[in-house]
């Protein structure tokens, strides 16, 4: 099956491309490289033995998307492309609305024009807002997101639901991720954002390797066991396998469906730091800072629906996540040092 991955060179997209190739599919990666590196395609080839097709382009370029969908004979789309940092979205809401909402609208128009009506969307647990109870289930209310990033995910889910109601030939599966971390076990691909990381584990990795002086922990006065935020962390390889497992469902069903992808338990920031220190053998200095606007105390999910619909469940542990993230960081640092010496 030929599958277009928007944002396919990014963290989750690249790992999903590996899983799809290993399953015999043909991913086509579409990315503007705003938060990814061109070398990712070569790294995927080193893992799988086959170079993925990569097309550089912006998700807001509807004409290019339609051309790609037609010329590449795409069967389905997995839509990852989008800005994704909660804190940054509070500071730059217009950029988030432009990129995430306008980009999705252009994609859907291009899909409609080319007759491709099978979509898996990279949604988020942020659609649930501040949880009234835990664990979160797909039947829990959405629409009260605490930040612009989360609101873009809610709006896109609603766009897709409306589209499926208007045209019963569409299939739209919204995968509500919790907190993906880790890296491919080879160490060849992982979460390597440009600039200062917005997400926890890349920041922890760089502190452990001496690239950053300390980890800012935003809030240590939450109503949680150690006062720091609690999240449902999921290994990116488990998440990538979740997309591959959702693909047959999207191809064989029509209509709109939301499904949680998580491990079903929460870890605090300090628990993740401790696990990473154990995995890496390095100390991670921590400084506490005030809470960030838009953050919540805790969330984790009930992943039962993914088991029921896709036959999928998370297999990897927090120790696996930290070990693989540290291997990736260490290999990237070694590569950078070798390039400097040469």
The set of catalytic residues is 149
CB atoms within 10 A of CB 138: 17
How does strand 286-289 pair with strand 76-79?
unpaired
The two tokens of residue 29 are 């990666």
Beta bridge partners of 180: 234
Q: Max alpha carbon distance in the chain (Å)?
A: 59
How does strand 267-268 pair with strand 230-231?
antiparallel
In whole angstroms, give the CA distance from residue 46 to residue 330. Answer: 18
Contact 81, 126 (CB under 8 A): no
In whole angstroms, give the CA distance from residue 342 to residue 326. Answer: 24
The two tokens of residue 81 are 């492309």
């Amino acid at each position: 099956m030929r599958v277009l991955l928007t944002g396919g060179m990014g963290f989750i997209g690249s790992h999903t491309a590996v899983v799809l190739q290993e399953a015999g599919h043909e991913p086509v990666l579409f990315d503007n490289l705003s938060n990814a590196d061109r070398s990712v395609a070569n790294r995927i080839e080193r893992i799988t033995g086959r170079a993925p097709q990569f097309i550089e382009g912006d998700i807001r370029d509807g004409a290019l998307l339609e051309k790609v969908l037609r010329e590449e004979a795409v069967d389905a789309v997995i839509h990852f492309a989008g800005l994704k940092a909660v804190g940054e979205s509070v500071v730059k809401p217009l950029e988030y609305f432009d990129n995430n909402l306008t980009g999705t609208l252009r994609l859907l128009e291009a899909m409609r024009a080319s007759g491709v009506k099978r979509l898996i969307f990279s949604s988020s647990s942020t659609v649930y807002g501040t949880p009234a109870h835990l664990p979160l289930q797909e039947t829990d209310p959405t629409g009260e997101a605490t930040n612009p990033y989360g609101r873009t995910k809610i709006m896109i889910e609603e766009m897709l639901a409306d589209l499926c109601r208007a045209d019963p030939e569409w299939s739209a599966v919204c995968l509500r991720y919790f907190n993906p971390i880790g890296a491919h076990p080879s160490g060849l691909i992982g979460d390597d954002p440009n600039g200062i990381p917005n997400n926890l584990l890349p920041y922890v990795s760089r502190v452990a390797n001496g690239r950053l002086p300390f980890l800012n922990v935003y809030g240590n006065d939450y109503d949680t066991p150690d006062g720091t935020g609690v999240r449902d962390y999921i290994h990116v390889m488990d998440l990538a396998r979740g997309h591959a497992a959702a693909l047959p469902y999207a191809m064989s069903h029509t209509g709109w469906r939301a499904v949680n992808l998580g491990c079903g338990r929460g870890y605090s920031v300090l628990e993740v730091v401790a696990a990473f220190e154990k995995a890496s053998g390095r100390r991670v200095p921590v400084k506490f800072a005030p809470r960030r606007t838009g953050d919540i105390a805790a969330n984790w999910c009930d992943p039962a629906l993914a088991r029921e619909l896709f036959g999928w469940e998370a297999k990897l542990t927090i120790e696996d996540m930290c070990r693989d993230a540290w291997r990736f960081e260490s290999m990237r640092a070694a590569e950078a040092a070798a390039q400097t010496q040469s």
